[in-house]
Every structure is written in C-alpha cells, then in structure tokens.
Amino acid sequence: MSDVDLESEQYEKCREAGEILAEVRDEAADRVEVGASHLELAEWAEDRIRELGGKPAFPVNISIDEEAAHATPSVDDEETFGEEMINLDIGVHVDGWLADTAVTVDLSGNSELAEAPAEALDAAIDLIEPGVETGELGAAIEEVIDGYGYNPVVNLTGHGLGHWEQHTTPNIPNRAVAQSVELEAGDVVAIEPFATDGGGKVQEGSDEEIWALEHEGSVRDRNARQVLEQVTEEFKTLPFATRWVDNSRASMALRRLQRQDVVHGYPVLKEEDGFLVSQKEHTVIVTEDGAEVTTRSR
C-alpha cells in the first residue's frame, strides 16, 4: 500500500477542476452547431470556467476535420462551424491543479469515427489500477480503434498532469509499445485516444495561436516586456492564447519573445488534408484499487 493521501487539498482541487470542466465541456458541446462562431464558443467556455470558480488551464482548442490539436481562434477570428468533425479540448485549473478533457462533436456524418476513441478511452480506464503498465493501456486503445477499422494517432499521447504543468510524465501511448512505465496510486493522468481514417501521424502546420513560457529573460522591447510580465504573473507555465494578451501588438511581441527563446509556440497539429481526426479525453486519479475519473458528466 502506498501512503498517498487522496483526500489532501491537492486532490480536492483536482476534483474541483474536473467537476467544473465536466459541466463546461457538456454545455460547450451543446452549443456546437452549423453557423455558430468558433471565437464566441471559445470565449463563452473560458468565461464559464471563470464563472464556476476555475481558470482555463489552456485556451479552448477547437480542431476541425484533419486538425488534431493546438487550434484556437485568433482575436478577430470569423470562422463558423460547418458540416465537419469538431474536437473540443478544454482544461481547467484550480490554484494550478489541473483537469483536461476532450470530446468530438460530429456534424460530418461520421459517427463511428467519433465513437471509436470514446470506446477506446473506456477500455483503457477499465484497466487502470496501481501497477498497470502504460503500454497495456496503449494496447487496449489501439485494439478498440483497430476494431472500428481506423488508426490511432501514434505521435500524440496522453500525459501526466502536474502542478502548473499541463504535460508531465508518464506518457500514455495510443498504441501498444515495448517501453512503458507502471502507474502508481496518486498519479493524475489525462488519457486521450485519437482516431483517424488517415495514416495515423500528425504533422505541424504553420498556424500558432497558443504559446507558453519557456524561461524568464530580460527583454529590451517595451511591448514584449509588458507581455512577458502578464504571462509570468497570470499564466505562469501554462499555455495561453494570443487573444488573452492585453496588448494591441500582442502577435508582434510574442514573435519577438519566441525569437529570444522566452516563449514557445504550439503549431496546429494535423493529419493530411481530406482525412478526419476524432478524440475523447478524461482526467483520472489512480486510486489504491482503480481509477477515479474527475471529468465524467455529473
């Protein structure tokens, strides 16, 4: 038996973040319809998180069709939803303790592709207990997605969630792998299967609307310095959107900070054009005898 206290304040804050997030995810998914605005949905969800007592852990990701991750609206985004496959990936933190979740809303008529990662996620969660190998979870995910006739996206993984850290060890693969680690009681992990009718490897696109602090440094440019102050104070090491930055020249300032290796960008990750990607994600606390899903619908 481990001596992890799952009733400690840190886990209570993880649970609170998960509870807020489950509500916002379900409400946001209900608002996805043909003609609705990407920007309005993202801002609505981020405001709703704050209203319920949390803070966004990263910008709401709205990935369309071949996009898999890191797509969020720009400050003047005019895109609206069409008859597409739409992935919503949303995060909440309470004092830096995190929850992360995603759901596919299918308006494209490919309901089986949307079902595949959801069923794969359930299969992985059923296996979770202390001592289970992350590779076993990957094998279960791959088997379900293969069974639907699709491919898992192999170069995206689930991940641990730390304090003010959105991606920590362990990685949770979406396929069987030889090298893996054992989960332990007290681990907080995000399991996120991705399925595709494409080849199963995403590439970096050119768009970057999401950023994170790499390290603090001295910056001469006044605009860039103002932006850096807001980032270190408000977002710390968590990802943030260009549109969250209170500066009329935010994009230019962020590019300057990027050139100095003070921040890094997250390019949109996508399958090849013409293919679709679906996703489902929950945050899980590994308990002494299984798993507690913090982001399940209440």
Catalytically annotated residues: 89, 100, 159, 167, 192, 281
Q: Please check whether residue 253 is in contact with residue 227, taking contact to mean a CB–CB distance below 8 angstroms.
A: yes
Q: How, if at all, do strands 291-293 and 263-270 pair?
A: unpaired
E strands within 107-147? none
Region class of 208: left (phi > 0), else alpha (psi between -120 and 50), else beta: beta
- Count Cβ atoms below 10 Å from residue 111 Cβ, excluding itself: 12
3-state secondary structure 7-26: CCHHHHHHHHHHHHHHHHHH
- Residue 212's DSSP bridge partners are 264
CA 232 to chain centre: 21
- Cα 101 to Cα 91: distance, rounded to the nearest angstrom: 6
Helix axes 134-147, 111-127, angle to 10 degrees: 150
Phi, psi angle pair for 174, to nearest 5°: -105, 20
